[in-house]
Amino acid sequence: MRWWLALWLAAWFTPGAHAEAQLTAGGESIDLWPQVRVLSDPTRALDLEQAVAARDRFIEPRSAYATLGLEKEVVWLRVPVAVSAGGEGMWILDIDYALLQRIDVYVMREGKVLQQATLGNGQPFASRPLRGRSHAAALEFPPGASELLVMVRVDTPGAKILPITLSRLAPFHALALREQLLQGALGCLGVVLLLYSLAQWASLRENLYLKYALLVLFSMGFSVHFFGIGEMYVWTDHQWAERHLAGVTALMAAAATALFVEDALAGDLHRWLRYALRAVAAIHGLATIAHGLDLIDVRVVAVLMTTTGLSPALMGLPGALAKWRRGDSVGAWFIAAWLGYFVASAIMVGVVRGTVGVNFWTLHSFQIGATLDMLVFMRIAVLRTAARHHDAQRAALERDTLHSLAHTDALTGLLNRRGLSEALTSALGRAVPDRILALYVLDLDGFKPVNDQFGHDVGDALLRVVAQRLRTSMRVGDGVARLGGDEFVVMAEGLTHEAQALDLGMKLLHAFQEPFTFNEKSSAVTATIGYALAPTDVADANALLKAADAAMYAGKQQGKCRLLRFGAAT
C-alpha cells in the first residue's frame, strides 16, 4: 500500500515531459507559455551555445503565469516547436509587454541557427523587425520539422512580464489593432479630462483642478509608456524616456494624487494628515528627480510605489469616512475610487512581482483602475466646485438679506431711513441742472383716528396699502421710503424741468383721492406733500430732506391735503 502511494505521489508531483508547441494547419494563435522552460543567468556569461547545451538545467517557471517577477538576472527561455502538415510558413513571435530592454530570439534546428532577431525598447525603433508597440518578429518555420527549438534571451532591469505567443499574421494584426483602438480611446479620454480640468482651473482659479490635471497627465503618461504607445508615436528612440518614464510618471501620479486628496478633503482631515500628504508628495517628487538622474533604479521606484504609493488613500480615508457619515457624497465617491484603486494596484503589483498571472484583465488592471480614479476624481472636483458655488450663493443671499433688512422697512417693504439716505446720496451725485432730483415728503391726514378707532393692526394694514399705491403711482426706478409712523418719502430723479416735478407731485396728491380698501374695510385718508429740488433748491442730502419736510409742515399749517414746494405754495 505504501509503495503504491509513493508511486502515485511521485507521478503527481513530477513535472511531465516538456511538450512541444504544435504548429498546425488550423492553428491561428498559440500561447507558448505552457511550453516555456527557464534558465537564470546571474553571471550574464552564457552564450547561445552554452544555453542550448544546458538543456537539463531549464526548469518549469515557478512564478505565476507569463511573468517572472522582478528578477535581476538575465533569463533564457526554451520552447521546443514541432511543425505539422500545413503549419509551415510565417508565424509572428510576439511578447506583448513593451518595457523589455533587450530580447534575443533564435530559431534552431539540430544545433544550427536558422533565424535570429533582436527585439526590445533598447534597440532603435527603425531596426525592429515589426515596428509596433509590442516586441514581435516574423519567423519562418520549414515544413515537417519536429525538432525545432526557439531560444529567447531576456535582459531587462525591470519586471519580466512575458506573455509570449506565436500567431499567424491576420490574428496578430487583429489583436494589435484592438489594443491600439483601446489605447487610443483611453488616451483620448485622458486628453479630454486634461483639457477640461485646465479650462476649469483657468476660469475658476481653483487649484484642485490644476492638481487633477497633473494627476491625469502623469496617469495617462504611465499608460502610454507601459503599453508602448509613447515609443511608437511620441518619444521614439529617446533612450532617457524609455528608461525612466515608467518610474517618473508613476511617482508623479502618486504625488499629484496626494495633493488632490489633501485639497479635496481639507476641511475633514486632521492637520497632521494634511502635512503627511504633502510630505508624501514631496518624497515622490524627490524620488522622481533621483530616478531621472539615475540615482535610484526602477526597483527602488517599485518599492516606493508599493508602499508610499498607496498612502494617499490610507491617509485620506478618515476624511472620506467623515464626509460619508455627514451625508456628503464626496466621501462615498472617494471610498469607491479607493476600493477600485486598491484592487487594481494589488493585481498590478502581483503581476510585476510574479505572483499574479498575466491575462488581458491583469495586464490592464492598473490602467482600468487609473481610468476609474480619473473619472471619479473628476466627479469629486465637480461636486466640490458645486458645493463651493452653493456656499457662495448662500453667503451672497445671506448678505443681500442682511442688507435688505438693514435698508428696508419691515412693515411696508419700502426703503427705511438708512436705505433712503444711501439712495439719496447716490442720486444727488447724478443731479445736474438739466437732470433735476425731486424729493417729496408725505404725511397722512387723518391716520391717527383710524389707528385709535380700529387698532394698530388695522393701522398697519392701511400703511401697507398706502405704500403699494405710492409704488404704483411713481415711475420705474423712483424711490419710495417710509421714515416711520405715517410719514413717507418719494424720490424722483432725471427730471428735465421744474414743471415735471410739479406734475409728479400732483399725481401723488391725486393718488389719495380714492379710499383705501383693506381687510374688508375702507378708509379715506389724504396726504399733505412738501417737496424740494436739487440742485435748484439745495444740493445736500440732509438739507434737501429738511427742506421738503419744512414744506410739508407748512402745508399742514395751511390746511392739509395739499402740495407745497420749499419756498412756494400751490
HEC profile of 61-101: CCCCCCECCCCCCEEEEEEEEEECCCCCEEEEEEECCCCCC
Residue 96: active-site member: no
pTM recorded for the entire structure: 0.69
Using DSSP's 3-state secondary structure scheme, residue 124 falls into coil
Assign domain 18-171 to a CATH class. mainly beta
Is residue 134 within 8 Å of residue 140, measured between CB atoms?
no
Q: Which residue has the cell 504609493?
A: 309
Q: What is the pLDDT of residues 452-507, one digit of tens each?
A: 777 778 888 888 888 888 888 888 778 899 888 889 999 999 888 888 989 998 99
**Predicted pLDDT at 7:** 28
pLDDT at residue 401 is higher than 80: no
Residue 548 vs residue 455, higher pLDDT:
548
- Model confidence at 11, in pLDDT bands (50, 70, 90)? very low
pLDDT at residue 251 is higher than 50: yes
Share of the chain above pLDDT 90, in %: 37
- The count of other CB atoms within 10 Å of the CB of residue 220 is 23
Secondary structure element (H or E) that encloses residue 481, with its range = strand 479-484
Q: Which residue has the cell 489593432?
A: 177
pLDDT at residue 36 is higher than 90: yes
Cα 63 from Cα 72, distance rounded (Å): 15
Please report how many Cα atoms fall inside a 13 Å half-sphere around the Cα of residue 230, on the Cβ side: 23
- Cα 496 from chain centroid (whole Å): 57
Residue 93 vs residue 305, higher pLDDT:
93
Q: Please report the DSSP string for 497-525 in residue order.
A: SHHHHHHHHHHHHHTTSSPEEETTEEE--
Q: Which DSSP symbol is given to 110? A: T
Q: Which DSSP symbol is given to 295? A: S
Using DSSP's 3-state secondary structure scheme, residue 437 falls into strand
- Model confidence at 151, in pLDDT bands (50, 70, 90)? very high
Using DSSP's 3-state secondary structure scheme, residue 236 falls into coil
Q: Which residue has the cell 485646465?
A: 198
Q: Please report the DSSP string for 22-49 in residue order.
A: EE-SS--EEE-GGG-EEEEETTS---HH
Cα 420 from Cα 4, distance rounded (Å): 110
**Predicted pLDDT at 532:** 92
Cα 3 from Cα 1, distance rounded (Å): 5
**Predicted pLDDT at 338:** 84
Q: What is the pLDDT of residues 119-141, one digit of tens each?
A: 998 889 888 899 888 999 999 98
Q: How is residue 472 written as a grid cell?
A: 404704483
Share of the chain above pLDDT 70, in %: 94
* CATH superfamily, with its number, for domain 417-569: Reverse transcriptase/Diguanylate cyclase domain (3.30.70.270)
Domain boundaries, the chain: 18-171, 182-394, 417-569
Q: Which DSSP symbol is given to 17? A: -
**Predicted pLDDT at 239:** 87
Is residue 516 within 8 Å of residue 459, measured between CB atoms?
no
- The count of other CB atoms within 10 Å of the CB of residue 444 is 21
Burial class (CB in 10 A: 0-12, 13-18, 19+), 4: exposed
Residue 1 vs residue 329, higher pLDDT:
329
Q: How is residue 384 written as a grid cell?
A: 466640490
- Model confidence at 4, in pLDDT bands (50, 70, 90)? very low
Cα 448 from Cα 456, distance rounded (Å): 10
Q: Phi and psi dihedrals of 458, rounded to 5?
A: -70, -40
Is residue 489 within 8 Å of residue 532, measured between CB atoms?
no
**Predicted pLDDT at 216:** 93
Q: Annotated catalytic residue: which of 486, 503, 537, 549? A: 486
Q: What is the pLDDT of residues 84-99, one digit of tens each?
A: 888 888 999 999 999 9
Cα 412 from Cα 467, distance rounded (Å): 6
Question: Among the listed ranges 185-194, 358-367, 380-389, which one has the minimum average pLDDT value?
Answer: 380-389
Secondary structure element (H or E) that encloses residue 549, with its range = helix 541-557
SS3 content of the chain, % helix, strand, coil (to 5): 55, 20, 25
Cα 149 from Cα 21, distance rounded (Å): 10
**Predicted pLDDT at 335:** 87
Is residue 151 within 8 Å of residue 333, measured between CB atoms?
no
Q: How is residue 449 written as a grid cell?
A: 383716528
**Predicted pLDDT at 570:** 43
**Predicted pLDDT at 417:** 86
Cα 211 from Cα 257, distance rounded (Å): 8
**Predicted pLDDT at 369:** 87
- Model confidence at 13, in pLDDT bands (50, 70, 90)? very low
Q: Please report the DSSP string for 301-328 in residue order.
A: HHHHHHTGGGHHHHHHHHHHHHHHHTT-
pLDDT at residue 437 is higher than 60: yes
- Model confidence at 14, in pLDDT bands (50, 70, 90)? very low
CATH architecture label of 182-394: Up-down Bundle (1.20)
Q: How far is the first Cα of the chain from the last one, in angstroms, to the nearest whole number?
A: 135
Residue 357 vs residue 410, higher pLDDT:
357
Q: At what angle do helices 298-306 and 271-292 cross, to 10 degrees?
A: 160
Is residue 37 within 8 Å of residue 17, measured between CB atoms?
no
Give the pLDDT mean for 448-454.
77
Pairing of strands 479-484, 436-445: unpaired
- Model confidence at 404, in pLDDT bands (50, 70, 90)? low
Residue 278 vs residue 6, higher pLDDT:
278
**Predicted pLDDT at 18:** 52
**Predicted pLDDT at 434:** 86
Question: Among the listed ranges 81-85, 387-391, 544-548, which one has the minimum average pLDDT value?
Answer: 387-391
> Considering all CA atoms of the chain, what is the largest pairwise distance in Å, rounded to the nearest integer?
137
Q: Phi and psi dihedrals of 527, rounded to 5?
A: -140, 145
Q: Phi and psi dihedrals of 60, rounded to 5?
A: -70, 135
Using DSSP's 3-state secondary structure scheme, residue 119 falls into strand
Question: Among the listed ranges 13-22, 25-34, 169-178, which one has the minimum average pLDDT value?
Answer: 13-22
Q: For residue 172, which of 92, 229, 232 has the smallest C-alpha distance?
A: 92
Is residue 49 within 8 Å of residue 69, measured between CB atoms?
no
